[in-house]
Amino acid sequence: MTTSTIDRKDVYTRVTERIIADLEQGIRPWLKPWNAGNTEGRITRPLRHNGTPYQGINILLLWGETLAKGYAANTWMTYKQAETIGAQVRKGEHGSLVVFADRFTKTETADNGEAIEREIPFMKAYTVFNVEQIDGLPARYQPTPEAKGQPLQLIENTERFFDATGATFRHGGNRAFYAPAADIIQLPAPEAFKDAESYAATKAHELTHWTKHPSRLDRDFGRQRFGDEGYAREELVAELGAAFLCADLGITPEPRDDHAAYIGPWLKVLQNDKRAIFQAAAHAQRALDYLHGFQSVQAEPMAA
């Protein structure tokens, strides 16, 4: 697999600037797949060659590539991975960037002669290709898009997912929010929503907020008041977490109108901190993994 160690700041800048460009046009890139009509099947997280879903920032990167280039397939692989199964990336095709971040331990000697271990972060860039850029792939990599199931069945599945978390949902009023002090999720009555998928997507958003509680993931960005930077960062995590969860559950809602007001604060955060979108995606992935952990049988990734 071809990899290259790259300047972390360069990756942060490249990815963040692309997302800022979308936000400046009033577009939330993590919601693009719901509206683009680029696939006849269910929206899912992007998949590796072995069917494993990508995580964190790579979901946004590959969703963006899918939309920009009009791919209907949602599976990606490296040049060498294609070769190992007898396939070939077509001449002239350009790959897409994904990143891998990790840490390695380096042993150093202190002034007193004592050996100490230091963790050093690193980031690698991988180039991957969509299966539509590759010739000679086995049939399993080019599945016929699956028609959407009946919404009622999809919603029944999502409700089972939500119920398994043990979160407390209450209904009433005209606002959707998570109340940390009471540790409850408040929602308008289901009948108040445009459709069942919008109701489920709103639950997914508030459930992502629910994961921040100190007894769960203990996520805190230092919010002091409504609309400040800490508030904007948490809302960004909830937006991404809900988008990732919707992809896993096959929910295809329309964007919430009441979240358009967050674009300004998000832009400010991203313009001031090139790592913010990476951090938000990582927190969203942790929330997603945490919520999946409540399921007795975790949802299988849906075929693209």
In a domain, 304, yes or no: no
pLDDT at position 39 is 39
Shared domain check, 126 and 153:
no
Please report which residue ranges of the chain form alpha helices under DSSP H: 8-24, 32-36, 57-69, 79-84, 151-164, 196-210, 229-249, 263-272, 276-292
* Structure confidence by residue, pLDDT tens digits, 251-303: 877 666 666 667 788 899 999 999 999 999 999 999 999 999 999 744 444 43
The values of phi and psi at residue 89, to 5°, are: -65, 130
Shared domain check, 171 and 113:
no
Asked if the model's pLDDT at residue 36 lies above 50, the reply is no
pLDDT at position 7 is 58
39 vs 50: CA distance, rounded Å: 21
Q: Which residues contact 263 (CB under 8 A, 6 or more apart)?
A: 23, 26, 28
Number of domains in the chain: 2
Shared domain check, 133 and 251:
no
Q: Supply the range of the domain harboring residue 135.
A: 1-146
Q: How many CB atoms within 10 Å of residue 292?
A: 15
* Structure confidence by residue, pLDDT tens digits, 54-65: 999 899 889 888
pLDDT at position 82 is 95
Strands 88-89 and 134-135, sheet pairing = antiparallel
Q: Which of 88, 117, 146 is the last residue in one of the domains?
A: 146
58 vs 195: CA distance, rounded Å: 30
Q: Which of 105, 129, 146 is the last residue in one of the domains?
A: 146
In a domain, 44, yes or no: yes
Shared domain check, 160 and 97:
no
Q: How many CB atoms within 10 Å of residue 71?
A: 21
pTM for the whole thing? Answer: 0.70
